[in-house]
A and B are shown apart, each in its own frame.
Chain A
């Protein structure tokens, strides 16, 4: 069931379109990655969904929400670079936003403590936010977005500014969060999208260029290919390879030969036979499936 449905959403800045009428929907309980290169319009899209900026057309509808209710009750949002009142403590800030979300005093305090522990900064809850590290601020940011138990949690580039350790911690946290709420996050890193999300929205130049469940998109853009590599300094006779009936073309790059084929099963047998009869020093043999990367590169470069 669709929690959020977006239809023909548009945004112009100074007359030129930034978002060119996008359609998508987000199902309840899924984790969706909004993937695209920088400048694709990811942040603009999220900011429109959160109500921070207005669209220039199109509609955003939230399941079971009448016109009277403020959409902000149901969404949590973490901006790409969250800024806090640096003179407040982490706990004070969380209680503050909880109260803004209409939680009563007791619940606000309890919820703040719970989330501080959950995101792993309980030790620093009474310290001034000005003294927090980047990773701690990001975690506090996630906590503030979760404070009112939103139905949809939106995170804008939650891990891109973090060091490898912080990145790992936040990704693990997201794994946990997606168990309890619907999660939409933007990223320009394919690995992050593949790791956490079930669904993909790929964006480029203000348009959604591909979308659907991860596995489906993978299948769709699957290119049958076999990657092979040989011992150092060995150069195979490419004419022998192209002579094989199932091989279409070969691209070589840094010692790895990407062999595009019509049928992987048949090609595998032919290739292995050839390697054996010619006594080529094979080191690596991989039936390819890294299809998204090719798609992403194609999108980014176009």
Chain B
């Protein structure tokens, strides 16, 4: 694994990490402001925080209650 880490050009990977961070932050802001979600609200907090990448997307697509 260490080799892989060394060989990776971090400038290439950085955008991926930045995007994921933005998604997570935006999802958190929205989670904080929204009144109700589909399913328990607290559950979605864990999904956003613990599932990288997929968590915030799942939240926006499924968790967010439309209107």
Contacts and interface: CB of A to CB of B under 8 A. Distances in A.
Interface of A: 85-87, 130
Interface of B: 35, 67
Nearest to A85: B67
Nearest to B35: A130
A86 B34 CA distance: 11
B53 to A, nearest CB: 27
A162 B53 CA distance: 46
Nearest to A83: B67
B9 to A, nearest CB: 42
A134 to B, nearest CB: 16
4 contacts: A85-B67, A86-B67, A87-B67, A130-B35
B5 to A, nearest CB: 44
The 4 closest A-B pairs by CB, nearest first: A85-B67, A130-B35, A86-B67, A87-B67
Nearest to A86: B67
Contacts of B67: 85-87
A175 to B, nearest CB: 34
B35 to A, nearest CB: 7
A85 to B, nearest CB: 7
B42 to A, nearest CB: 20
Contacts of A85: 67
A86 B35 CA distance: 11
A87 B35 CA distance: 11
Contacts of A86: 67
B41 to A, nearest CB: 15
Contacts of A87: 67
A93 to B, nearest CB: 13
Nearest to A131: B35
A208 B67 CA distance: 38
Contacts of B35: 130
A86 B65 CA distance: 12
B60 to A, nearest CB: 15
B55 to A, nearest CB: 23
A86 B67 CA distance: 7
B45 to A, nearest CB: 20
A85 B66 CA distance: 10
Contacts of A130: 35
A130 B34 CA distance: 10
A85 B67 CA distance: 6
A152 B33 CA distance: 39
A86 B64 CA distance: 14
